[in-house]
Chain A
């Protein structure tokens, strides 16, 4: 990991190394963007839409996205559904167990800011952005599969702009 990160530093010392780094950038970011394995994480209503998006009509697999049950092997948490105060530490734990580079999509109003449970609820976490860093927010209650796909494409665009040194 560390080696790949330092690769551009070494490569640029050679003549023509810049071209290599640029094309490496391209290959690495493209491959990351086109193989986002998402964690099977759904809590509430949005999980049903997440399942529907994975099913035949919308088909997540077209984008190269398949689900993994283990956080170690996934690149992306689609936080689908309400995160309560009791669940919040678990979400953080799952995020911590994932391997870098990792991304988070906040799917649905509840994960964005508490959604319909913002007022008068003593148990709902009002937005997951103070538990884990969020890359893409998808509003909706629940968002349609089309908007989920759009959110994933937005995330892909975001990843494709990354350079080798940019990873956290």
Chain B
């Protein structure tokens, strides 16, 4: 009824290949962006921005990064946390070496380093598949984590072994460091995330995106159709790590302000993987939904019972959160293994045929 594409004719291939061929989708996206850029900054409080929106956007971007590799190119990775760490440490080093260069530029450049590292650890993917590949990425995870601890140059020989983000400004507005306002950080994170998400969506509808999906769906057939497996996989590793690296750098620059090596541990990798799987493998919109679910649900469970007057011990809440998140993961895998993105599609289909069942 409301979501119906009847009467919308496409007269060129150009229009047919646009990201949102259906008018209602375009309106929906416009509304979301309107909320993100105008409504939230006007109404949200600090807690909502710093503990919900900023982490949500950072994790969404990281999930898009992992999705490029695991969802689109079909290479399972458990090392995304460490690749995020590479981005963070690279950005930190860059900003200490070039304190006058715009920090957003440096954050974007830092991804290049994690892309390089990612490509190196992607090399075995030519010979190794599936779970076996997961082990090589696990090697990356543990090895890089060890490097973050053992190479003091990376954290400027700080006695604490942690990186702490100095104050940096752009156009006279403080955007990093403790003094940066949540609004300023929010805008930086929002713009970067939306921008990269858009660019990646473009890549996915063109030749390179297709070549990744070809490798994912049937690597042998892809090779017989002229896809060079090594280059294609390495590109996926590099692009994925680049995005994860930028997300990692944003995590410490615009959200946490300081990071220890343990911030980029295997736990983070798993968190991102959850987001990708629950959101939907191979879906950019799904990455956002997965990130929202995995990040916001625990926050919700943690703070809402207290806010509405239910007295539960802090640790009981934590235990319950673990149990509920675990159970929900299993639940969603059972009801819809293709994630929220598929549910969303099904929902749209339902709307399309409403009021008839099909």
Is chain B a partner of chain A in the same complex? Answer: no
